[in-house]
Amino acid sequence: MARNIVLEPLRTVHIEDQAIELVERKGLGHPDSIADGVSESVSRALSRLYLDEYGRILHHNTDETQVVGGASEPKFGGGKVTTPVYLLLVGRATTEVNGEKLPFRETAIEAARKYVASICDHLDVEKQVEFDCKIGQGSVDLRGVFDQKSVLANDTSFGVGFAPFSDLERLVLESERFLTLKLKKKLHALGEDVKVMGFRSGEAVHLTVAAALVDSEIRDATEYESVVNEIRDKLADQAAKVTRREVTIDVNTADDPELGRFYLTVTGCSMEAGDDGSVGRGNRANGLITPCRPMSLEASAGKNPVNHVGKIYNLLGNLIANDIVKETGGNVKEVHVKILSQIGKPVDQPQVASLQLLPANGVKLAQVKGKATAVAQDWFDRIDEIPRLLLTDKLSVF
């Protein structure tokens, strides 16, 4: 099938050769990431409900989750949450099929509750989180749905992707994963709300880490300082495994012991005390916030995986970019992908798929053009695999 795939040279200074680079990742317990995770969990739960009942994913978009921070009184040795976190599920879902009502509200709230509980170890989901579902209702006649011969884009929108990750991008991503998926299991005072900001100036790298600590796991200010130092030291050891560049690390720089100011929480999550969260304000579909690279403002989490191009094209852009790097065997230093849809047109036939390649030294664009174009064609041929990859946790959206 002929598609409008346009390949051209990427006319830029390679990311590793730029003087300044900034990269950010909001950890799994950050309020914005909680909003993303809940939205995506609700979407996947509804998708499974539709698949179980009707053999296909029906229309839904649950990408407007809001996290409204509560109130708490943390203190060394253990404090308390005084006002629960309020979590509002917003969006649209197919709630009725051929006159048969579906348990969409129960499905959505249960998915949200399970997700939050799976992320936040010190949070009592039953007592410290209030769940509310305002997902709009809609009905569908399946005869009309099944009569569609192809999946049509629901919007005129674009998605972007790039590859490969730079040294700093890998470091920031791996640092947050190390803290929240590995170190936290041994260092129980470390909460899930972690943010890592990476700054490279030339060959020098600096990480600024904000890590919510759990008050019940820390006796006093002296032990707090010990925990902060352990986080910094362990992360430094981890960073040395990821990059050869010199890395310096600061942890919880807003602390002021003389004023009694510490990043101390009851639950390990800042949303317990007024820190709000919204879908799409955090990590992009590749897990990072990268102002030195092409990005889309589109929120991917919670959008339906069948025809919402705001989700599909951002995922596809990264898949295409990474596979081009892999298939060209080191002959490409950097790939940027931009894909534009047109509402009402088949999702596998974009208005344009722009591939920008920065060949390695001594490599001509003509040498890699064929493979790069073939990779893009292949992914558009297989675009219907994306829902399965999402539902089997092979793809992440934040």
Q: How far apart are CA 155 and CA 303, in angstroms?
A: 12
In a domain, 126, yes or no: yes
Same domain, 298 and 271: no
pLDDT of residue 143: 47
pLDDT of residue 145: 47
Are 307 and 383 in contact by the 8 Å Cβ rule? The answer is no
Calpha distance 390→118 (Å, rounded)? 18
Dist CA 49 CA 62 (whole Å): 14
**Reported pTM:** 0.94
**Structure confidence at residue 139 (pLDDT):** 64
CATH number at residue 322: 3.30.300.280
Q: Does 109 fall in a domain?
A: yes
Residues 198 and 255 in one domain: yes
Give the count of beta carbons closer than 10 Å to the beta carbon of residue 51: 14
The residue type at 183: L
Report mean pLDDT in 10-residue bins for the chain, 398 residues: 94 97 98 98 97 93 96 97 98 90 96 98 97 86 54 93 98 98 96 98 98 98 98 98 97 96 97 95 97 95 95 98 97 98 95 98 97 98 96 95
Q: Is the domain of 57 the same as that of 119?
A: yes
In a domain, 19, yes or no: no
Q: Do residues 181 and 266 share a domain?
A: yes
- Quote the number of domains for the chain: 3
Q: Which of 245, 278, 311 is the last residue of a domain?
A: 278
Six-digit token string for 165 = 């990750």
Write out the E strands in the chain. Answer: 5-9, 20-26, 60-61, 66-68, 71-73, 80-83, 85-97, 100-101, 129-140, 158-163, 190-201, 204-214, 246-251, 264-265, 277-278, 332-340, 352-359
Q: What is the pLDDT of residue 1?
A: 77
350 and 271 belong to one structural domain: no
Query: What's residue 68's pLDDT?
Result: 98
pLDDT of residue 274: 85
Q: Residue 212's domain spans which residues?
A: 167-278
**Helix, strand or coil for residue 9?**
strand
Domain boundary residue, one of 252, 278, 304? 278
Token readout for 292 is 């030195």
In a domain? residue 341 = yes
Asked whether residue 104 is assigned to any structural domain, the reply reads yes
* Domain edge (last residue) among 247, 278, 309: 278
* 84 and 112 belong to one structural domain: yes
CA proximity to 281, closest of 271, 289, 273 = 289
| 243 and 101 in a common domain | no
Is 18 part of a structural domain of the chain? no
Residues 159 and 172 in one domain: no
Alpha-carbon gap, residue 49 to 58, rounded angstroms: 9
**Distances in whole angstroms, Cα of residue 290 to Cα of each of 10, 73, 197, 230, 260:** 18, 35, 10, 28, 34
- Classify residue 130: in a domain, yes or no: yes
171 and 133 together in one domain: no
Tell me if 49 sits within 8 A of 104, measured CB to CB.
yes
Q: Both 49 and 189 in a single domain?
A: no
Q: Is 21 part of any domain?
A: no
What's the rounded Cα separation, in Å, for the pair 374 and 367? 13
Tell whether 158 and 174 lie within a shared domain: no
**309-to-44, 49, 315, 353 alpha-carbon distances in Å:** 16, 22, 9, 13
The CA dihedral of 377, 372, 315, 298, to the nearest 10 degrees, is -100
The answer to whether residues 100 and 193 belong to one domain is: no
